[in-house]
Chain A
Amino acid sequence: MNSLQYGWRNLWRNTRRTGITLAAVCLSTAILMASYGLMDGLMQHAVSNATNLVVGEVQVHAQGYLADHSIYKALNEPDLILEAAKQKNVAAAPRRYGYGLVAVGTKSAGARFWGVEPASERATFDLAQHLQEGRFLSETARRGVVLGQKLARSLQAQIGSEIVVVVQAADGSLGNDLYTVTGILKAAGDSIDRNAALIHAEDFVELFVSGDRIHEVALNSRGMVPLDKLTELLSIAAPEEEIKSWRQLMPEVSDMVNLFDAFIWIFGLIFLLAAGMGVMNTMLMATYERIREFGILKALGATPWGIIRDVAAEALVLAALGTVLGTILGLAGSYYLQQVGLDLSIFAGTYSVGGVAFNPIWRATISPKMVLIPAVLMLIIGVVASLYPAALAARLDPVKAIHRP
């Protein structure tokens, strides 16, 4: 008979009380897991949208480019960056940027032109699949353009519409041409939605007379290479350039992720405390009911530490049982939330935070940490909550305890 077996038997001396406490621990664990899964899902969705869609994990620009987006501030040696990325099996997409006017019929708007290499974009990002209608740019330059959702709407452009483009080229001349809309992006963040016009890199060079200027290399390992390692790799390959992680490029999203992270802990703490109070209450009641018994155990030679161990073991058994049941319930709930999700479209529709679009269907993720963290914390809080009643039992005067009616 060890402390755990003794604790197990003691639990069932009052089945109703134990049942109620078990239900509280079980529900707290389940809610904690499902909430953690939802929050983690939202964070992963945010990070995934932020990085996999278009931004990447790290971007490299010429010093000062991000301040004024000048067409003349190009990377010194983009090939070295692409080569370093290739050596580490990290996908990279070189991009060129320029500004101009676009018009369809009588409708016109300012646009930011992206000169992209379709094959690199496809290999590095999800943008090529993120289309509301039409198709992404083909591998060969054919005067095709993919527009941001809101830009297309303001121009009343449709697939196949012809767009007149007027830009100021790098050599000072006016560049103009006629492009055909091949695709319209889904919501991808406010900035892209309002002014992005994606064209083939070769078309861009021709339109802007930009030569071999590359303004940005965006790298995306899809989580395979830690952010700090990726940054370190690039600082060696391109020490002169400006290297920024997605957290620096999108501080709002980074802050939001940190906020969610803090929220998970605060939310979790509240549930843990509530469950811990339940365990403490049960153990206090159990202790008061068994004062005489503890007195006998002390008379027989049980040390204060032995009494503490017995009470804590009983709480551990209670918390462990509740946690196991809660884990089963929490996993079932999380599975449902992963498969079906919570539809928030009636509240928010498609929305974006910090320029990153969010799917209104909020889905949970299931991961080892979303199971382990709540489970381990619940076990710890269960045992910690028992220490006060355990200390009370350990400090009992055996004579008074034995003669208690």
Chain B
Amino acid sequence: MATIVNLQEVTKDYGQGQALTHALRGVNLIIEAGEFTAMAGPSGSGKSTLLNIIGGLDRPTSGRVLVDGREIKDLSNTELGLLRRDRLGFIFQSYNLIPVLTALENAEYVLMLQGVPTAERRARVREVLAEVGLEGLEDRYPRQLSGGQQQRVAIARAIVSEPALVLADEPTANVDSKTGKALLDLMHRLNEEKGATFFFSTHEEAVMKRARRLLQLEDGIIRNNGATADIRNTE
């Protein structure tokens, strides 16, 4: 199985002097293609920092970060942008759709950046929107959609370009439990049927249960790193 993410002794510090904060303290992590991995931990444990570093949105203080075989620290900002565009998908906690774009236009944004011809990208986006259960809602603007529907658009936007890795920051945190379960079902199905690799943070028990692999992050250190069932058995 191909390695998508390889973190070696990654640290991340914020501030300096007495205000120095160690967000990550020597994180080692490998994520293989096709994984469905959750990362749990209390607030301030470094979950978002880790996601940001893997997503090329932030750079580590030390250590090596290889995403899709490329060392993050060697890439310029533009190269990082291209890596995110072509190899990564993002799902944010608060949907973060562009308000002036319709569901279809939001979902096709990355394909547009990639220069995919209009007809082809429209066809692909319609197909993906149908897969996430938004058929018939393509022309609605975010304000015309429920929270769950908006997050489905965000999921469609993240997977439509078939990235190597989809990073999700607490994707079900802002929706009710029923919608959260439906979203999780959707991500699970996309993982199984399309082979999309998911790595997401969560603090919800129900979400952790669905992950095949669960990481426990505490004070910037991964405490447990294994199959969900194994971790739960040790607790």
Q: Can you list, as one digit per residue, whether each of B72-107 has a CB less than 8 Å from chain A (1) or not (0)?
A: 000001100111111010101000101111000100
Contacts of B82 in A (CB 8 A): 301, 303
Q: How far is the CA of A296 from the CA of B78 in the complex (A)?
A: 15
Q: Given A306-B113, A399-B52, A402-B96, does the pair A301, B105 have CB atoms closer than 8 Å?
A: no
Contacts of B157 in A (CB 8 A): 300
Q: Given A301-B81, A301-B84, does the pair A9, B92 have CB atoms closer than 8 Å?
A: no
Q: Does B84 contact A10, Cβ atoms closer than 8 Å?
A: no
Q: Given A301-B82, A302-B81, does the pair A296, B108 have CB atoms closer than 8 Å?
A: no
Q: Is B138 an interface residue when CB atoms closer than 8 A count as contact? A: no
Q: Does B100 contact A300, Cβ atoms closer than 8 Å?
A: no
Q: Given A303-B82, A304-B81, A398-B57, does the pair A296, B100 have CB atoms closer than 8 Å?
A: no
Contacts of B57 in A (CB 8 A): 299, 398-399, 402
Pairs A–B under 8 Å by Cβ, sample size 11:
A293-B98, A299-B57, A299-B90, A299-B92, A300-B110, A301-B83, A301-B84, A301-B113, A303-B78, A304-B77, A399-B57
Q: Can you list, as one digit per residue, whether each of B133-157 has a CB less than 8 Å from chain A (1) or not (0)?
A: 0000000000000000000000001
Q: Is A45 an interface residue when CB atoms closer than 8 A count as contact? A: no
Contacts of A301 in B (CB 8 A): 81-86, 88, 110, 113-114
Q: Can you list, as one digit per residue, whether each of A390-405 has a CB less than 8 Å from chain B (1) or not (0)?
A: 0000000011001000
Contacts of A305 in B (CB 8 A): 78
Contacts of A229 in B (CB 8 A): none
Contacts of A398 in B (CB 8 A): 57
User: In A235-276, which residues have CB < 8 Å from any B CB?
Assistant: none
Q: Can you list, as one digit per residue, whether each of B29-58 has a CB less than 8 Å from chain A (1) or not (0)?
A: 000000000000000000000001001011
Q: Is A298 an interface residue when CB atoms closer than 8 A count as contact? A: yes
Contacts of A304 in B (CB 8 A): 77-78, 81
Q: How far is the CA of A139 from the CA of B112 in the complex (A)?
A: 79
Q: How far is the CA of A306 from the CA of B84 in the complex (A)?
A: 14
Q: How far is the CA of A196 from the CA of B83 in the complex (A)?
A: 84
Contacts of B109 in A (CB 8 A): 1, 297, 300
Q: Which residue of B lies closest to A2 (CB)?
A: B112
Main secondary structure of the interface of B (DSSP, over half): helix
Partner of A303, one of B81, B98, B112: B81
- Interface set of B (CB-CB < 8 Å, partner A): 52, 55, 57-58, 77-78, 81-86, 88, 90, 92, 96, 98-101, 105, 108-110, 112-114, 157
Instruction: State the Cβ distance, B120 to closest chain A Cβ, in Å.
Output: 15
Which of A10, A298, A299, A402 has the most C-beta atoms of chain B within 10 angstroms of its own C-beta? Answer: A299
Instruction: State the Cβ distance, A166 to closest chain B Cβ, in Å.
Output: 88
Q: How far is the CA of A298 from the CA of B78 in the complex (A)?
A: 10
User: In A290-345, which residues have CB < 8 Å from any B CB?
Assistant: 292-293, 296-306
Instruction: State the Cβ distance, B64 to closest chain A Cβ, in Å.
Output: 20
Partner of A1, one of B92, B96, B101: B101
User: In A356-405, which residues have CB < 8 Å from any B CB?
Assistant: 398-399, 402
Q: How far is the CA of A297 from the CA of B101 in the complex (A)?
A: 12
Q: Does A399 contact B84, Cβ atoms closer than 8 Å?
A: no
Contacts of A302 in B (CB 8 A): 81, 85, 113
Contacts of A303 in B (CB 8 A): 78, 81-82, 85
Q: Can you list, as one digit per residue, whether each of A54-79 has a CB less than 8 Å from chain B (1) or not (0)?
A: 00000000000000000000000000
Q: Does B108 contact A1, Cβ atoms closer than 8 Å?
A: yes
Q: Is A16 an interface residue when CB atoms closer than 8 A count as contact? A: no
Contacts of B110 in A (CB 8 A): 300-301
Contacts of B98 in A (CB 8 A): 293, 296-297
Q: Which residue of B lies closest to A9 (CB)?
A: B100
Q: Does B58 contact A399, Cβ atoms closer than 8 Å?
A: yes
Instruction: State the Cβ distance, B138 to closest chain A Cβ, in Å.
Output: 13
Contacts of A298 in B (CB 8 A): 81
Contacts of A299 in B (CB 8 A): 55, 57, 84, 90, 92
Q: How far is the CA of A306 from the CA of B101 in the complex (A)?
A: 17
Instruction: State the Cβ distance, A399 to closest chain B Cβ, in Å.
Output: 5
Q: How far is the CA of A402 from the CA of B78 in the complex (A)?
A: 18
Q: Does B84 contact A300, Cβ atoms closer than 8 Å?
A: yes
Contacts of A399 in B (CB 8 A): 52, 57-58
